Chain A
Amino acid sequence: MIQAVHKVLGTETEFGIAVRGRPGYSPVTASNLVVAAAVGPRRVRWSYDEETPGRDARGFGPIGGDLDTGMLNAVLPNGARFYVDHAHPEYSTPECFDPLEGALYDKAGEAVLARVAAAARASLGPGEELLIYKNNSDGKGNSYGAHENYLMARAVPFAEIAAHLIPFLVTRQVFTGAGKVGSENGRPPAPYQISQRADFFEEEVGLETTLKRPIVNTRDEPHADPSAYRRLHVIVGDANLSETQVFLKLGSTALLLSALEMGALGRPVRLEDPVGAMWRVSHDPGLRRTIRLAGGKSVTPLEVQRHYLDLVERSFGGATADAVDRQVLELWGGTLDALETDPRSTADYLDWTAKLRLLEEYRQRDGLPWSHPKLRLLDLQYHDVAPERGLHRRLVEAGRMRRLFTDAEVQRASSEPPERTRAYFRGRCLARFGEAVAAANWDALVFDLGEGALTRVPMMDPLRGGRETVAELIDGSASAADLVRSLGGADARTGTQATPPGGSR
């Protein structure tokens, strides 16, 4: 039994992108346009040489090579990373303290994208429009990711994590799916399926994210002390528009991982064919078909989820869950009940059932067969991040889908950092001393104090550097040099490393 690590978490979303009025426009060019519009002429560089775990902590000195890829890469004042990855604009939330905050900063990404798409209009011709979609597939066999990250104790053997994660991830689709018209990647035909991504998984465990995608990804880059932590990188999820659904996805997974750390999950549920089960579950929006376990027994996805929910609830023992965890447990249980009774009853907060309901209404009104292109357009446009066009947004405004946050809260999160993680230090330093920040990364800030060598401030602990410990320090510093001195007397001239924000360890 291991002490559960506080589940600092975050999401990474690759957005689909197109230019109306210019069908052949390269998504790479369009992505660069969007990120350039976001960061303006003065941007803080992302330092790639911090991207390896376990490296020597010496990071000062001139930063070189971080722009060699020619890809735009920036840090936003809310502590997020915004960049071009492959052919997509990608937004990584800052490190969030809990799943509620994670959902808020995930939604803040949509606000950022909607804003920059509008700003990028100036670079386009008359009648042309940048269109940005928070989805995971173009419907033609090309998929792009919506990844989740969770801080975990290094001490849990990875094989144990994978053994529990596989059945959990295969079956959590029933409440994480964003819904999709049709099937892809050689899977059998399906008029409508639960998940955008399920068709694309071909292995059980592996390092890939673009080819032969595995259900459990083994990337090992903790962006924190590697002897204490790992960062679990989950790549099977769909990008969700529903705020409640992002919260449920992050919350249930974080609680499962904590229970796993505490040794509370018992023997893993072994699926006979996890890769096959992945798409079979997705292709059954009626939620009645069973999947086979190793050994021959059959279970429904909802039964597997109930099994894990039950173990997670018991893992609390006599202890009282905090308010957010209680909210997750209630929502998780309530969702399984609702899906059991009638999946349509979740259409006010699950993307896949909300979209299905809308498609059925169109089918009924216009007599459309499932193969009609208008249904594919409705599917795509459900995910448009522009408030005036996005159909999820239309359903929210018509009172058909619930929210967790107000527009004002989402807007605020798109420019201000979370307050209980190191993202606060990163975001506030950028907002206050942006000109002096030469480069940034998840676990370090590099200052150029105009005195020769650069000074690196390490931030190896995701829970250090929050408002409580550093707000006064930052607000009370007249300059970046002042701040660096206060942090521990770093001497920029000799290149001494400053102490981490929040005190030395």
Chain B
Amino acid sequence: MPEQEHKQPRRGVPAEDTPQEAAPARGSSGELAERIDDLLDEIDAVLEENAEEFVKNYVQKGGQ
């Protein structure tokens, strides 16, 4: 069992960043916006297509 927290390597973030700083914090606001845009672009690439239809079809009857 791990006693200590393990940090994942972060893409594009200097290794000495603490988790709290991993979010915005560093660099100019331009760099930050760019980093967020990169992440959103990456997420766009894996998002299910046709959001409206997809969400409409997700129905789960009969749970606790």
A286 interface hit (Cβ, 8 Å): no
- Give residues 30-64 of B contacting A (CB, 8 Å): 36-37, 39-40, 42-43, 46-48, 51-52, 54-64
One of A17, A88, A400 near B22 (C-beta < 8 A): A400
A377 pairs with B54, CB closer than 8 A: yes
A394 pairs with B39, CB closer than 8 A: yes
One of A100, A210, A374, A388 near B51 (C-beta < 8 A): A374
Counting chain A CB atoms within 10 Å of each CB, the highest count among B1, B9, B57, B63 belongs to B63
A143 to B43, CA, bound (A): 26
One of B20, B39, B62 near A398 (C-beta < 8 A): B39
* A-B contact number at CB 8 A: 134
A104 pairs with B8, CB closer than 8 A: no
- Give residues 4-18 of B contacting A (CB, 8 Å): 5-13, 17
A31 to B48, CA, bound (A): 21
B57 pairs with A381, CB closer than 8 A: no
- Give residues 355-378 of A contacting B (CB, 8 Å): 357-358, 361-362, 365, 372-374, 376-378
- Min CB distance, A147 to chain B, in Å? 7
A361 to B39, CA, bound (A): 10
A299 to B8, CA, bound (A): 38
Interface of B is mostly: loop
Which B residues lie within 8 Å of A404 (CB)? Answer: 2, 5-6
Which A residues lie within 8 Å of B42 (CB)? Answer: 394, 398
A500 to B54, CA, bound (A): 51
Tally chain B residues at the interface, Cβ within 8 Å.
39
Interface of A is mostly: mixed
A88 to B58, CA, bound (A): 13
A27/B60 contact (C-beta < 8 A), A377-B54, A381-B47 known: yes
Interface with B: A134-142, A436-444, A488-496, which one?
Answer: A134-142
Interface with B: A156-164, A171-179, A342-350, which one?
Answer: A342-350
- Min CB distance, B45 to chain A, in Å? 10
Which A residues lie within 8 Å of B11 (CB)? Answer: 397-399
A139 to B3, CA, bound (A): 37
A118 to B55, CA, bound (A): 22
Which A residues lie within 8 Å of B47 (CB)? Answer: 374, 377-378, 381
Q: A14-B64, A377-B54, A399-B17 are known; give 9 further A-B pairs, CB within 8 A.
A: A17-B60, A86-B62, A139-B58, A142-B59, A348-B19, A381-B47, A389-B46, A394-B39, A394-B42
What 8 A-B pairs have minimum CB-CB distances, sorted nearest first? A399-B10, A144-B63, A145-B64, A87-B62, A373-B52, A377-B51, A138-B60, A86-B62
10 A/B residue pairs, CB under 8 Å, sorted by A: A87-B62, A101-B1, A138-B59, A142-B59, A145-B63, A365-B36, A394-B39, A400-B23, A403-B7, A409-B2
